[in-house]
Copies of this chain bind each other. A is one copy, B any other.
Amino acid sequence: MREGPDIARIASLIGDPARANMLNALMGGTALTASELALEAGVSLPTASSHLSKLMEGGLLTLASQGRHRYYGLASAQVASMIEAIIGVAEAVGPRRARPGPRDAAMRVARVCYDHLAGEQAVAMLDRLFDRKLLLREDNEIRLSSSGAAHFSALGIETHAKARRPVCRACLDWSVRRSHLAGMLGAAILDKIIAEKWARREKDSRAVVFSPRGRQEFERVFLS
């Protein structure tokens, strides 16, 4: 009977199917309203509302009110990466999903992880950015080199640190089991990919699907 941090509290919050579905949906990175989350979780609005207040109280969510809309989002990247870790275990021990299915394959290639790109594409990108010395591994962190700063700035990606959010961060990829790029820069790159219409978000999924031309452009800019 040891004390220690209350992991049961956190885990039981995630342990309800409705709440797990909501969190899963929020892993897409976009904040959602209570009604959207109710739909996502397959429960009525009152039920969803009750779940949301529990998640809020548990510190897993943040809330942004805009007019009569209330947008719920994951509280932090740390929460997101905890959820990724749980997904990893669930994938590993889970009842071997009958057929991997096309959506699942798409997820492995490229998907949204909270606010940045994950999957094979993202892991390959980080590797290339290191090779080209646009990013530097330092200690156990990732740092932007001066050539990297110039490079991203030329692409119209702002890399000045604001607030306390780190510019670069490594995030473990559950499908590849290697790191991909998170942090402000990771988020900015995903923004660019979507803004340039190189890829679109699959509806109701975290999968990111590149268009043929978009993939070419992405490879030219980030994988060359």
Contact = CB atoms under 8 A, between A and B. Distances in A.
Interface in A128-179: 130, 137, 139-141, 170, 172, 178-179
Contacts of A46: none
Given A75-B93, A93-B59, A2 B15 contact: no
A195 interface: no
Given A12-B16, A93-B59, A93-B75, A140 B5 contact: no
A53 B39 CA distance: 34
Interface string A90-109: 11111101000000000000
Nearest to A89: B82
A87 interface: yes
A13 interface: yes
For chain A, what secondary structure do more than half of its interface residues adopt (helix, strand, loop), or is it mixed?
helix
B93 A10 contact: yes
B85 A85 contact: yes
B140 A170 contact: yes
A64 interface: no
A133 B130 CA distance: 19
B25 A2 contact: yes
A127 interface: yes
